[in-house]
Structures are given as C-alpha cells and as structure tokens.
Amino acid sequence: MPIIMTARYQVHPQAVDRCKQAIKNLVEYVKKSEKGTLYYIANQEILNPYAFLHMMIFQDEVALTMHRSSEAAERFVSVIYPAAIDPLEFKEYNEVEHNFNFGVQ
C-alpha cells in the first residue's frame, strides 16, 4: 500500500530563494534516483510566498526510508530546517480515491 504524506512549513523571508533552490535540487534528485517515490510535488503558496507544501507518494516503507536517508534529503534538511519559522509539519494519509495510474493496486 502506498504511503501518502505532506510536509508543510514557512520560512523566513530572506531565505525564500535559498529554500526554493534546495527544493529544486531535491526534486531533481527524486526524479533521477528514487524509483519508489511515485509522486513528489513541492508548492509555494500564492498569498503567502514564504509558505510551502510538499505532497509525496511513496511505493512502500522501503522507498520512504530510502528518500529520508538520501544525501539529497540531508542537504535539503540542512537548508530548510534552519530557515523554517516553526518546525515542519508532516502528516500521513490513507488513500480514499485517486485518478493517477501508478501501477499500484
């Protein structure tokens, strides 16, 4: 069963550009190297450009562990965590329904 997660956080205004680059670097790594990460999108809030929301779907616990323990994730954390105003908020969800075809039943 896939693992569906979100991560929400807000950064200090002076850190936005640095954080956006860290996000781009992480997502590029995910695209190239994490076959078990089925979906990863990072969004910047329109009305509050200091706020970000990441939505992720991992194939299984192994894929999540590989993502969390990657050097790319460590580099991301080293930029985002110090820039965050409050601790990042992670949530995990159960799927109700979707319109994506990930090859997962």
**Domains of the chain and CATH, by start:** 3-93 (3.30.70.100)
pLDDT value at residue 95: 86
pLDDT value at residue 11: 98
Tell me how far CA of residue 98 lies from CA of 4, 27, 62, 93, 101, in angstroms: 12, 22, 22, 13, 8
Summarize pLDDT for 80-96 with one digit per residue, the tens.
999 999 999 999 999 88
pLDDT value at residue 35: 96
Alpha-carbon span 88 to 81, nearest angstrom? 8
pLDDT value at residue 99: 82
71-80 contacts at long range (C-beta below 8 A, 24 or more positions apart): 72/25, 72/26, 72/29, 72/30, 72/33, 73/26, 75/22, 75/25, 75/26, 76/22, 76/23, 76/25, 76/26, 79/18, 79/19, 79/21, 79/22, 80/9, 80/11, 80/19, 80/22, 80/23
Mean pLDDT of 91-104: 80
Mean pLDDT of 4-26: 98
Summarize pLDDT for 26-75 with one digit per residue, the tens.
999 999 999 999 999 999 999 999 999 999 999 999 999 999 999 999 99
